[in-house]
Amino acid sequence: MPLIKQIIIALSEFLLLDKFGRKVLQFFAGLGESSMLLYRSVKNLRYIVRDRYLIVEQMSIVGVNSIPLVVVTASFAGMVAAVQAGYQLEDFGSPSMFLGSSTSRAIVIELAPVLTGLVLAGRFGASIAAEIGTMKVTEQIDALETMAIDPIRYLATPRIIAGIVMMPILIIFADLIAMSGSLFIGYTTMDVSPQAFFASVEKFMVLRDVLSGLLKALMFGGSTALIGCYVGFATEGGAEGVGMATIRAFVLSSAAILVNDYIVASVILL
């Protein structure tokens, strides 16, 4: 019996290692393929003037259509930040001196970029994967190729540019909305005047805070669009494949946002 048990354990360990090894190989293959996609997209920047209509169309889809979602996310993030800060500042007496700076710095550096990034990963990252994935499984990508149109130039490059350009704009917008939400809570529940709120912001917030948030936004926008495109082009099968691609794009984009968040925070703030 012990021998059989040992064999079973050895076999299961081998199978687990085999499965783990496959996953590692798949990860590096995906990393290589998405790097190639990025390289080919960057090469297509020479067509940026010719493809301006495609880029503007994608900017509208990523930017304008995301505004309602950003407003809801950012306003509640700002209000929650104010409630939390007010609760913690109670121990130090009046929250009026620090509420503006503490909430605004948290919003600009972390809350607005990450929360907006995650929400948009679900919105436009997944929608890019679903759109390109559907085109792949219905032979529309093949149709583009037979018409001598490079699918990466036509589909991926405009979406990646739109992500990189529009995400910082959306994050600045989210910053303002979240700070307004924070001020609203401070004014209505903690008697913090707008003057005191903004005086605190002016006194403690530094340019590095804003730049850190914007750099994050840029990386989040680029990575979300790139992952959406990569997953879309790699879609196989029918409707089930498109569904899996949508989930995969959201999960990978969210993970990429958290990793990028840490990298930028380490580089800029440490």
Binding residues for another protein, rule: CB under 8 A, are 131, 134-135, 138-140, 142-143, 145-150
Distance CA 270, CA 268 (A): 6
Q: How far is the CB of 262 from another protein (least distance, A)?
A: 37
Q: How far is the CB of 153 from another protein (least distance, A)?
A: 10
Between 53 and 92, whose beta carbon lies closer to another protein?
Answer: 53
Distance CA 83, CA 162 (A): 34
Q: How far is the CB of 144 from another protein (least distance, A)?
A: 8
Distance CA 160, CA 102 (A): 33
Q: How far is the CB of 205 from another protein (least distance, A)?
A: 43
Distance CA 203, CA 97 (A): 10
Between 97 and 144, whose beta carbon lies closer to another protein?
Answer: 144
Closest CA to 155 of 130, 191, 175, 173: 130
Between 155 and 257, whose beta carbon lies closer to another protein?
Answer: 155
Between 117 and 133, whose beta carbon lies closer to another protein?
Answer: 133
Token pair, residue 29, equals 């293959």
Distance CA 211, CA 171 (A): 11
Between 4 and 148, whose beta carbon lies closer to another protein?
Answer: 148
Burial class for 9, CB neighbours closer than 10 Å (0-12, 13-18, 19+): exposed
Closest CA to 135 of 243, 33, 233: 233
Distance of CA 194 to the CA centre of its chain: 31
Q: How far is the CB of 50 from another protein (least distance, A)?
A: 9
Token pair, residue 20, equals 């783990």
User: Rounded to 5 degrees, what angle do the CA atoms 103, 267, 73 make?
Assistant: 35
CB atoms within 10 A of CB 240: 10
Token pair, residue 24, equals 């590692």
Between 137 and 169, whose beta carbon lies closer to another protein?
Answer: 137
Q: How far is the CB of 252 from another protein (least distance, A)?
A: 24
Between 1 and 147, whose beta carbon lies closer to another protein?
Answer: 147
Q: How far is the CB of 175 from another protein (least distance, A)?
A: 33
